[in-house]
Amino acid sequence: MDVNRIHFPGLKPHPFDPSRGLDATDVAILAVVNNPALKTARVQAQAGEAQAFVAGMLPGPQLSYSLDHPTHQPPQYTNAHSAGLAYDITALVTHPATESAVQATAKQIDLNLLWQEWQVAQQAQLLYVDCLNNSRKLDLLTKLRDNMESRYQAEQRAYAAGDLALADLGLGLAALQNVQTIAGTTATARNASCRSLNEILGLQPDMVLNLMPDNDPLATPTPAVLQQDLAELPQRRPDLVALRYGYKSQDEEVWRAVLAQFPGISFGINRAQDTSDVHTTGFSVSVNFPFLGGGAAAVHAAEATRNALWQQYQQRLDEAVSEVHLIHADLGVLDRELAQADASSVDTQQMLIGARNAYERGDLTAPAYYDISIAILNRKLANMDIQAQRQQLRIALETLLGLPAEDLQHPVNEKQP
């Protein structure tokens, strides 16, 4: 498969070049192309479509032949045989409904596979955000840890020379160990998220990916835009459209079961020869009455299945709307937190620089300096986590809404059932 020409639903045409690094879109493309579970799902989808095609074929005619050999009879008797060709005419009556059901089932299979691809791409992007965020946090912590280790070594020399109190040396060691602990925890989280990302991408667990940050963060949609997206959701999101096709298929099955209630007619042509060498040609007609043999139960069973599909569709739609509103509310909270962090970022940086200069001049005690440094570090790490959480929520919101609309038009021409 040429990944440079792939068109992934929900994404604009995107050049794929791993040599320059992988952004969120690259990760989604690679997941759809190379995920092992999706490769298996595609084979299963092909098998399901083949089964649906076979189920929609008309039954063939029935050919019969019999031979009777006379035994212990006078010589003038000959072998008797008969041949017949018959066809169940009822199949012609129910075939249009069967064919429509099969076509809807095939489209349902395709859309379910598409929805599975969307979910795998979303999971890959969420892991991408985790891996990248933990890597950036670890870089920050590593630099701070190295600086603090150098400073602690200088404090050890000062203590040995009698220029630093033991209590101050202990505070420096405690601050260093605190940063080392945070760095170790972050490194473990980075390893877990990056390995999970490699797994979903179908790559070796120890492969180190060059992940690039997404420099084009998506804005939180306005309530008006959100309502418009929700109104178009049933016509756009693959799993919801697939359920509608499933309902359409089962509706045709109900109609097929109703048609099957009518008397079944089988017509045949026979040619025979008896033992006295008399040749005959004729026809046969057989009629059965399904409504006398429990055929109504098949109709009720098909209707019950159809109703269950409708309830499943409505439940999933309601859950999607609820999740969208919840994520939108959470995005509003995170946007406000990030705005507050941005407004105070300059003051925070100046505070850190001032504390460092004051400590080096001897105007600030070591405990005060370390308290300020750790507090600012925790604030930076928290802001990075908020940014990552916002990006993940935005990815989840796009998947829930099935965006953008132009990539998946509603393929059902009929009115919504």
Q: What stretches of 237-337 adopt beta strand conformation (E)?
A: 264-273, 279-288
Q: Residue 272: which of 285, 284, 262 has the closest Cα?
A: 284
Is 55 within the bounds of a domain?
Answer: yes
At residue 387, the pLDDT reads 92
Identify the residue with better confidence: 222 or 67: 222
Is 251 within the bounds of a domain?
Answer: yes
Least confidently predicted of 32-36, 189-193, 230-234, 412-416: 412-416
Residue found by looking up tokens 């499933």 in the block: 246
Query: Strand 264-273's sheet: what is its strand order?
Result: 62-68, 80-88, 264-273, 279-288
Q: Which residues contact 230 (CB under 8 A, 6 or more apart)?
A: 321, 324, 401
Is 414 within the bounds of a domain?
Answer: no
Helices 295-361 and 366-401 pack at an angle, to 10 degrees, of 160
Q: What are phi and psi of 89, to 5 degrees?
A: -70, -25
Identify the residue with better confidence: 410 or 138: 138
Q: Which CATH number covers residue 309? A: 1.20.1600.10
Is 43 within the bounds of a domain?
Answer: yes
User: Is residue 3 pLDDT above 80, yes or no?
Assistant: no
pLDDT, average across residues 91-110: 80
Q: Is the peptide bond before 367 cis (omega within 30 degrees of 0)?
A: no
Is 81 within the bounds of a domain?
Answer: no
Partner residues linked to 42 by β-bridges: none
Mean pLDDT for the chain?
Answer: 81
Is 381 within the bounds of a domain?
Answer: yes
User: Is residue 412 pLDDT above 90, yes or no?
Assistant: no
User: Is residue 11 pLDDT above 70, yes or no?
Assistant: no
Least confidently predicted of 168-177, 251-260, 408-417: 408-417
Partner residues linked to 273 by β-bridges: 81, 279
User: Is residue 90 pLDDT above 80, yes or no?
Assistant: no
pTM of the shown model: 0.78
Is 290 within the bounds of a domain?
Answer: no
Please state the domain count of the chain: 1
> pLDDT per residue over 290-344, tens digit each?
666 656 777 788 889 889 999 999 999 999 999 999 999 999 999 999 888 888 8
In order of 129, 235, 257, 334, the CA distances from 327 in angstroms are 17, 21, 44, 10
Q: Which long-range contacts (CB under 8 A, 24 or more apart) does 392-397 make?
A: 392/126, 392/129, 392/130, 393/327, 393/330, 393/331, 393/334, 394/217, 394/218, 394/220, 394/331, 395/24, 395/122, 395/125, 395/126, 395/129, 396/122, 396/126, 396/327, 397/221, 397/324, 397/327, 397/328, 397/331
Partner residues linked to 67 by β-bridges: 81
Tell me the residue range of the domain where 325 lies: 3-59+91-262+295-407
Q: Residue 24: which of 123, 150, 160, 162 has the closest Cα?
A: 123
Distance CA 397, CA 331 (A): 10
Is 274 within the bounds of a domain?
Answer: no
